[in-house]
């Protein structure tokens, strides 16, 4: 397992790529080095690098006051989230666009990714606040994937799983209307220094995640994309979370061996990289990665590029960094080891000592974890990389427009 502290800490600086698709069992070749923006485009490197440098300076200053003990009692907020503001629905695709029944805020984007974008919206008749996930569906395969997401969500009714409200189909788009969650991504909430993160906070988050996965697996559903971006907070102050984005989820039939070739490299289980059969432990491996990050702020398998990351996953090359895990309990480290070394179910995780006796642990859990500072750096780098890709792409299209052809894209 031996990975040095310097090597682990350097992983934060490299960022990651979202949902790279792999065609077969072997890891992809080492990608070419980074390229700057097109000549004549925006100076994205200097602008974004300046923003990142400023964030890192602020984090160093914040770290001076981090990891301190609390001298005041903390309220234990381990209540489950409330139900969605509507009963569970069995949704079918309706023809047409949702503009007649919904007002969609097309200017405000709540999130986005390979699927498209998510906007806040309001049902005209009731005033109910909802979220509209707009999926590009020009091909039959894209529409089939959207239909699969609807069918999976129709089966799932749990307090820690986002609920589907309606669905619309037009010529080139599918719009999924679902429960609105105002709290944002779990990691974005955690890096807010106004809410110090202790080990008990991490326990409360992880217990809910495991309860949701236990229910999904009881319903024979594999999520297969349980990265931090797909765990949202219900609001901006509480500890309640819900799992979202079932675009890559699959029905699991044990007699029908299932293989998949997609995901985000640093969160992939070895069986996905090897193009081997996936099952319930595939989701639990990713829970182990997320837990490691919550406790330390480091990504256990992240390398300097996708090829190195995938090799780390295949060789199970990870270790507990002494500095990052300085204030983390042995129970917590055993919980992570059980997920990244041995195959464990969600039910077994919920029985692990680390997730039990939360009220007793809350009485003595008074040390802020170091992960807040490192996660803020991780999030800044992730945002930097996403912004760089967007601006670089815009520069390429700008150049294409001036040339009047698609030859510069190799098309």
Please identify every residue annotated as catalytic: 225
List C-alpha distances in Å: 179 to 155, 184, 219: 15, 13, 21
Nearest-angstrom CA–CA distance, 228 and 52: 21
Q: Strand, coil or helix: what is 322?
A: coil
Residue with tokens 């939360």: 358
Nearest-angstrom CA–CA distance, 284 and 105: 36
Helix axes 199-218, 330-340, angle to 10 degrees: 30
CB contact at 8 A, 186 and 232? yes
- The DSSP string of 325-375 is TTT--HHHHHHHHHHHTS---HHHHHTSGGGS-HHHHHHH--B--THHHHH
- Which tokens go with 166? 């309606």
- The DSSP string of 213-269 is HHHHHHTTEE-----GGGEEESSSSS--EEE---TT-EE--TTS------S-GGG--
Q: How many angstroms separate the most distant Cα atoms in the chain?
A: 68
CB contact at 8 A, 301 and 318? yes
State yes or no: 361 annotated in a binding site: no
Residue with tokens 């990142």: 52
Nearest-angstrom CA–CA distance, 405 and 399: 9
Please report, in range form, the residues annotated as the binding site. Answer: 133
Please report, in range form, the residues annotated as the binding site for ATP. Answer: 133
């Amino acid at each position: 397992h031996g990975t040095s502290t310097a090597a682990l800490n350097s992983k934060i600086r490299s960022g990651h790529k979202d949902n790279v698709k792999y065609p077969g069992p072997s890891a992809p070749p080492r990608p070419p080095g980074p390229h700057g923006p097109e000549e004549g485009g925006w100076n994205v490197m200097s602008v974004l690098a300046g923003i990142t440098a400023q964030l890192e300076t602020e984090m160093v200053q914040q770290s001076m006051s981090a990891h301190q003990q609390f001298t005041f009692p903390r309220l234990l907020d381990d209540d489950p989230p409330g139900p969605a503001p509507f009963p569970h629905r069995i949704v079918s695709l309706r023809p047409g666009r949702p503009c007649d029944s919904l007002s969609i805020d097309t200017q405000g984007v709540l999130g986005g990714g390979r699927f498209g974008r998510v906007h806040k919206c309001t049902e005209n008749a009731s005033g109910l606040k909802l979220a509209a996930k707009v999926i590009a569906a020009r091909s039959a395969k894209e529409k089939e994937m959207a239909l699969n997401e609807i069918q999976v969500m129709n089966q799932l009714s749990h307090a820690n799983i986002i609920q589907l409200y309606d669905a619309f189909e037009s010529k080139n788009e599918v719009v999924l209307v679902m429960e609105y969650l105002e709290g944002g991504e779990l990691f974005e909430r955690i890096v807010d220094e106004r809410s110090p993160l202790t080990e008990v906070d991490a326990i409360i988050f992880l217990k809910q995640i495991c309860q949701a996965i236990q229910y999904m697996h009881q319903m024979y559903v594999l999520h297969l994309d349980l990265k931090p971006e797909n765990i949202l907070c219900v609001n901006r102050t509480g500890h309640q979370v819900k799992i979202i984005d079932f675009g890559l989820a699959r029905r699991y039939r044990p007699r029908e061996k299932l293989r998949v070739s997609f995901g985000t490299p640093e969160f992939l289980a070895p069986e996905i990289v090897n193009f081997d059969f996936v099952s319930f432990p595939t989701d639990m491996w990713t829970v182990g990665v997320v837990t490691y990050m919550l406790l330390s702020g480091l990504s256990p398998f992240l390398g300097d590029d996708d090829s190195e990351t995938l090799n780390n996953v295949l060789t199970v090359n990870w270790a507990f960094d002494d500095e990052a895990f300085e204030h983390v309990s042995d129970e917590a480290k055993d919980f992570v080891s059980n997920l990244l070394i041995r195959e464990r179910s969600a039910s077994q995780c919920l029985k692990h000592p680390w997730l039990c006796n939360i009220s007793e642990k809350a009485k003595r859990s008074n040390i802020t974890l170091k992960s807040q500072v490192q996660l803020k750096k991780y999030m800044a780098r992730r945002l930097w990389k996403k912004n760089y890709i967007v601006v670089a792409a815009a520069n390429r299209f700008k150049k294409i427009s001036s040339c009047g052809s698609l030859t510069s894209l190799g098309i």
